[in-house]
Structure 1
Amino acid sequence: MIRRLTAKQHCLQQQRAPQLPQRRTVENHREIPTPKGLPLIGTTLSLLASGSTPKLHEYVDKRHKELGPIFRDKIGPISAVFISNPDYIRAVFKHEGKYPVHILPEPWIVYNKIHGCSRGLFFMDGEEWLVTRKKMNTLLLKGDFQWLENSCKAATDDLIKEVRQSSNLEELLYKWSLDVMISILVGAQKFRKTKESHRTELQHLARTVHLIFNTTSKLQLIPATLAYKLGLTRWKMFENSVDVALNTAKTLVNKILNEPLEKDGLLSKMLQEQIEKDLITRIVTDLVLAAGDTTAYSMEWILYLVSKHPKIQTQLYNELQTNPNTPLPKNIVRESLRLYPVAPFLTRFPPEDINIDGYKISKNTLVIFSIYTSGRDTKYFENPSEFQPDRWLRDHRNVNHKQMIQATVPFAIGARSCIGRKIAETQLQLALSELVRTFSISLENKENIEVVLKMVAVPSKPVKLEFIAR
């Protein structure tokens, strides 16, 4: 979903960034390539012909092949600059300003305004965001993370027990993803003791979080304000799903906060940082909601690829037997996120005019980074459509390792990069390792599975796997 920058966000962007090196003078900017479109609706018809919003990543990828690594497009009322060149992407991130601003799905903005909701880090701007982000950086991106690994292991143990009994992989991974978050909040030991007391809320939350993303995606081609004013069914479904999810998550977090806390849980660490309980509830609620779709689908794509490539699965199993510290789990996750980034587009609104390779991007322009395209670019990846985890080994052939890293940034970079990156990487790598140690995983789908966008990148059909105990 794409939205325009609000007046409030315009005011927040007061930090002047130094200009990038220029190949041409400011007065002689090159025109950013633009596809032909119609008045008012731009290239919306072309997008619809390409499969509409579920295929936006393919539409944009095709435009990059036609127009190059930077182009401007107008889809409906929204105009944006799309960038796929890693150097250009990093240049914009480098000059994102003191208070980086990213896109927010319009339905969520409208909902928050109507209901007077104050939300967590993802929705914050300005000084409030900066102060809160610094505190959370200390807790989630710095220091010793053994407590984090222990929490992920506690939830993954349950996944191992349940995976053979479940006929719905997506539902199981949703539950596991939320279990991980609860384990991180309370600590591994307490999670093992109290998980059953939270089971009903977690199951309910898993279903409603999934519904939020599905209903949001159905509002992508219609203004959310209009859908709300007209009382459209799709708006009512979205609004109800958010109501239920927020209330369930807040009730669960408050319930845990009122219980005795152990020092190895995130909630205890947040209290030690003197974060107020109300703010803790806001931050944690959004962390829990964000973890649902993103991590569950990332894990589904990883298992799809590993099951589809039995030689790589055997390689992983053998390396885990002889070397518990093998880099292969990390490289499999990295390669999976390159091919199937759950967020195939990242966004920023530059606080000042910037000049990139002779192209002027005016301040507060919506800039969309096409990481689906950059991660499949032959300039940076040999045989980019192939699943090759070993390409990430530093001594692998003569590939420029640094260029590959710069070409795929699934968690973004800069001050507003994903706060949950360490959590996601730890739980994905750990779950992959434990599943392959325990099971031989085979793919039952006969037809190829494609990427479709429903807010995040999801499989076009359910992934069906068979788990056979080793």
Structure 2
Amino acid sequence: MRRMSVVQGMSGSRFVAFAQQKGLCMTAAGAVVDGNVEGGKGALKDVRKRDVDGRVRSFEEIPHTGRNGWINLVKFWRENRFQQLHKHMEQTFNALGPIYRETVGTLSSVNILLPSDISELFKSEGLHPRRMTLQPWATHREIRNHRKGLFLKNGEEWRSDRLQLNKEVMLSEAMKRFLPLLDDVAKDFCRMLQGKVERDGRGKESKSTLTFDPSPDLFRFALEASCHVIYGERIGLFSSSPSLESQKFIWAVERMLTTTPPLLYIPPRLLVQVGASLWTQHATAWDHIFSHAEARIQKAYQRLTSSQGRGSVTKGQYNGVLGQLMEKGQLSLDLIKANITELMAGGVDTTAVPLQFALFELGRNPEVQDMVRQQVRTSWAQAGGDPRKALQGAPLLKATVKEVLRYKFSIFSCVS
């Protein structure tokens, strides 16, 4: 049984994560009940009661949208569901209940709505959860003779790499090292938003308001922040005139994410053989992403060898996740390149989307927004401008940051 998690992405794109043993679909602050978004535990209970009698059911009893995957694929194309997949899933959950299965083209999936059901699924996975291969990505690696990273691995090989990366991404000590880097990017992001309000806002100068779509800006924030943490250097997306290299890199990541969903439903090898434009765009985007990663790996390697030649590494200097992995030398350069590239490219959308969810929830819950703002102001003053100390004094903000980071990295699959 294969399960799929789909999250609406930035700039019209969608990032799709797969799992053999798990699935996830979310609605904002509540569940979808009879076509409406309802908040609170009561709504979740209403959804859960539907068609539930307490017994364990077989796979064949899971409601489905139709057994013919090719007919479903034609419907997806005709109705443009690839661009409105979240609405299609909302409607289907309303019609079939909190768990349903679907076959589109060659892809079979089980979609799960309720967090409690997802939790049960996670608990049953064990040490080596199996995820369905992102075939377009795997085909690109095979054709280009690249090593595969965590997105494309399973079993002991996956767990071995994952545990090495956990040390540099998930542990508290690792987070303390890269929080100042995130803080630098966040400040630039806030200055950019402030400038936009002052330039285009309406109302009095002290109370200007502005309504706009934050998706593109959140996408660039996530990309800039990811690169700063992973590579230890900025790529200049918030400068007044971003470099041509940065613009091409943005295009490549956006194009890769946009072309991934359609390629999931048709065998990529078939598209390669016929020279389909969709595959060419996808492969070209990945080629540029790998070239970008290769250049930064070479720079990091030169810094490391130069420091070793002098007999010391600059004390207190943090060279990003990449630098830490290279310095420890527990993964080969090929494996570092594969994992770093996938972590950077795949993590961008999975950072921007939770941030968008968080902003939406704060926007419609002003009392929570006020609590977070007050905590931040108080803890920042007490911490004297140190973002690490400030985060410790703002539990609501700390929880938000942790969940964003956890969601960003757990897209590689959960660790038992």
Same fold (TM over 0.5): yes
Alignment TM-score, normalising by the size of structure 1: 0.57
Say if 2:307 is the partner of 1:264. Answer: no
Contact persistence 1:201–1:252 (CA under 8 A) = no
Q: Which amino acid aligns with 1:239?
A: A
Equivalences for 1:340-379 in 2 at 5 Å?
A: none
* Structure 1 segment 106-125 matched on structure 2, within 5 A: 106-125=135-154
Alignment-derived partner of residue 157 in structure 1: 187
1:409-435 deviations in whole A, cap 9, x for unaligned?
A: 95697993289xxxxxxxxxxxxxxxx
Residue aligned with 1:274, SS: coil
Q: Does 1:287 align with 2:316?
A: no
Secondary structure of 1:146 counterpart: helix
**Alignment deviations for residues 400-453 of structure 1 (CA, whole Å, 9 cap, x no partner):** xxxxxxxxx95697993289xxxxxxxxxxxxxxxxxxxxxxxxxxxxxxxxxx
The whole-number CA distance in structure 1 between the counterparts of 2:333 and 2:85 is 40
Match of 1:179 in 2: 224
AA partner of residue 131 (structure 1): S
* 2:295 is equivalent to residue 251 of structure 1: yes
Deviations 1:203-234 (A, max 9, x none): 43222111211222443554322222211222
Aligned residue in 2 for 1:19:
none
* Aligned mates of 1:210, 1:182 — CA distance in 2: 15
| Cross-structure match for 1:17 | none
Residue by residue over 1:16-69, the C-alpha shift from the partner in whole angstroms, topping out at 9 and shown as x without a partner, is xxxxxxx769xx958513346364536446656764223333333333333333
| Residue aligned with 2:108, SS | strand
Q: Which residue in the other structure is 2:395 paired with?
A: 327
Q: Helix, strand or coil for the counterpart of 1:102? A: coil
Aligned to 1:242, which of 259, 271, 286? 286
Report the secondary structure of 2:70's partner residue: coil
Q: Give structure 1 stretches of 5+ with no counterpart.
A: 5-12, 14-22, 338-408, 420-470
Separation of aligned partners in 2, 1:48 and 1:322:
52
User: Structure 1 residues 246-255 or 88-97, which shifts more?
Assistant: 88-97
Q: 1:267 and 1:36 mapped to 2: Cα distance? A: 44
RMSD: 4.2
The percent identity for this pair of structures is 23
**Paired residue for 1:440?**
none
Deviations 1:231-254 (A, max 9, x none): 122222222111112112221222
Residue 63 of structure 1: aligned partner: 92
1:207 corresponds in structure 2 to 251
Asked if 1:53 corresponds to 2:121, the answer is: no
Structure 2 vs 1, CA of residues 36 and 208 (structure 1 numbering), >3 Å: closer, same or farther?
A: closer
2:134 aligned with 1:136, yes or no?
no
Contact 2:181 2:229 in 1 (8 A): yes
State whether structure 2 residue 118 is matched by structure 1 residue 89.
Answer: yes
User: What is the distance in 2 between the residues matched to 1:272 and 1:30?
Assistant: 45
Q: Is the 8 A contact 1:110 1:225 kept in 2?
A: yes
Corresponding residue for residue 357 of structure 1: none
**Cα displacement (A) at 1:309:** 6.4
TM-score by length of 2: 0.63
Assess if the C-alpha contact under 8 Å between 1:135 and 1:273 holds in 2. no
Contact 1:3 1:105 in 2 (8 A): no
Displacement of 1:164 in angstroms is 4.6
Q: Which amino acid aligns with 1:132?
A: D
What's the offset of the Cα at 1:119?
2.8
**How many matched pairs?**
323
Q: Hey, what's the Cα distance between the residues in 2 that align with 1:143 and 1:412?
A: 14
Looking at structure 1, the residues matched to 60 and 231 of structure 2 have their Cα atoms a distance apart, in angstroms, of 54
Distance of 1:36 and 1:304 partners within structure 2: 30
- Provide the rounded CA distance (Å) in 1 between the counterparts of 2:333 and 2:364: 46
Gaps of at least 5 residues in structure 2 are 5-19, 21-53, 201-212, 305-312, 381-392
- 1:218 and 1:29, CA in 2 relative to 1: closer, same or farther beyond 3 A? closer
Judged with a 3 Å threshold, the aligned counterparts in structure 2 of structure 1 residues 330 and 51 are, in CA distance, closer, same or farther, namely farther
Contact 1:411 1:418 in 2 (8 A): no
8 Å Cα contact 2:107/2:264 also seen in 1: no
Judging changes above 3 Å, is the alpha-carbon distance between structure 1 residues 50 and 257 closer, same or farther for their aligned structure 2 residues? same
Check if 1:101 corresponds to 2:130. Answer: yes
Partner Cα separation in structure 2 for residue 322 and residue 59 of structure 1: 43
How far, CA to CA, are the matches of 2:143 and 2:161 in structure 1? 24
Which of the two has greater helix per residue? 2
1 or 2 for the larger relative contact order (CA 8 Å, sep ≥6)?
Answer: 1
Question: What is the CA–CA distance in structure 2 between the aligned matches of 1:275 and 1:32, rounded to whole Å?
Answer: 45
Distance 1:175 1:239, change over 3 A: same
| Per-residue Cα deviation, 1:294-332 (whole angstroms, up to 9, x for no partner) | 323443454456567666555543443335533343566
- Pair 1:32–1:303, CA change in 2 (3 A): same
Is 1:148 aligned with 2:178?
yes
1:416 matches 2:399: no
SS in 2 for 1:237: helix
1:416 aligns to what SS in structure 2? coil
Q: Distance in 1 between matches of 2:118 and 2:352?
A: 27
Matched letter for residue 113 of structure 1? E
Q: Is the 8 A contact 2:189 2:221 kept in 1?
A: yes
